Amino acid sequence: MSTESEKDLVDKLLKGRTMSVYALLLSQGQMGVRDVQRALRFSSPSLALHHLTKLTDLDLVRKDEHGNYSISKTVRVGSLSLFIKLGSRLLPRFFFLGTLFTAMLILYVVFFLAWPPTGRDLMYIALCAIAIIIIFYESRRIWLLKPF
């Protein structure tokens, strides 16, 4: 199977609750069937097992000898493409851009701001503040799309 058709198949099948299970494993690492059931509040362990089996069939998840599941291949499809994994957390991509603009504004105010502020200073501060507000607003919207 070609890489493009494999990506299309994964994109087609990795939706809804299956995406939630995959995102949970991506952030938590290794989990058992009951752990997945409890974390995602599924009605039964068999529902969690169904989604884990689906992920195993796609070769995205592997099962060890103790019955725990873990990620075997990382893919960025659907809403997961809007996140970056940092340690055990999934953070919106825009979060890092917002952090950069915030640091730029703080450094400018601490090291370069003359008193009284000139028109250029006020313009820089206003543009940075607007950019920070927009970027963190978008980060929040993306955070609400988090699969689990």
Q: Is the pLDDT of residue 147 over 80?
A: no
Task: Enumerate residues 6+ apart whose C-beta is below 8 A from 84.
Answer: 90, 91, 92, 93, 96
Task: Enumerate residues 6+ apart whose C-beta is below 8 A from 52.
Answer: 21, 33, 36, 61, 63, 69
Q: Which residue has the higher pLDDT, 5 or 143?
A: 143
Task: Enumerate residues 6+ apart whose C-beta is below 8 A from 129.
Answer: 105
pLDDT score for 19:
87
Note the pTM of the prediction, 2 decimals. Answer: 0.69
Q: What average pLDDT does this structure show over 115-142?
A: 94
Which of 7-16, 118-127, 137-146 is the least confident region? Answer: 7-16
